[in-house]
């Protein structure tokens, strides 16, 4: 389930937030997909991602068919936001 999000393609003029909850992953929204739950903000070609559970080591993100795996902060920095530019 995605909350607080508007449907449709994400482009450079759109800022969209989405939150997958209850472990429902992988998830898709417009031209964005993720393999695990998290909090995401998409701004143009940059995806900001965080794991509020502080348990994941990485996320695989896909934007417009381009896939990237990002490592998430660990230890005292767990839960902090990372970004990936596509």
pLDDT of residue 1: 37
pLDDT of residue 86: 94
* 2-3 and 15-20 beta bridge pairing: antiparallel
Q: Tens-of-pLDDT digits for all 86 residues of the chain?
A: 344 444 455 444 334 445 545 444 556 677 888 888 888 888 889 999 999 889 999 999 999 999 999 999 999 999 999 999 99
pLDDT of residue 11: 45
pTM over cut 0.75:
no
pLDDT of residue 38: 86
Count each helix (H run) and each strand (E run) in the chain, helices first.
Answer: 0, 9
Q: Listing from the earlier edge strand, what are the strands of the sheet with 66-71?
A: 27-29, 32-34, 58-63, 66-71
């Amino acid at each position: 389930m995605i909350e607080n999000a508007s449907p449709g393609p994400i482009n450079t003029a759109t800022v969209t937030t989405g939150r997958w909850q209850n472990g429902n992953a992988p998830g898709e929204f417009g031209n964005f997909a993720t393999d695990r739950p998290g909090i995401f903000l998409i701004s143009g070609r940059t995806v900001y991602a965080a794991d509020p559970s502080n348990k994941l080591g990485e996320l695989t993100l896909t934007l417009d068919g381009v896939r990237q795996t990002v490592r998430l902060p660990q230890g005292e920095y767990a839960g902090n936001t990372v970004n990936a530019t596509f």
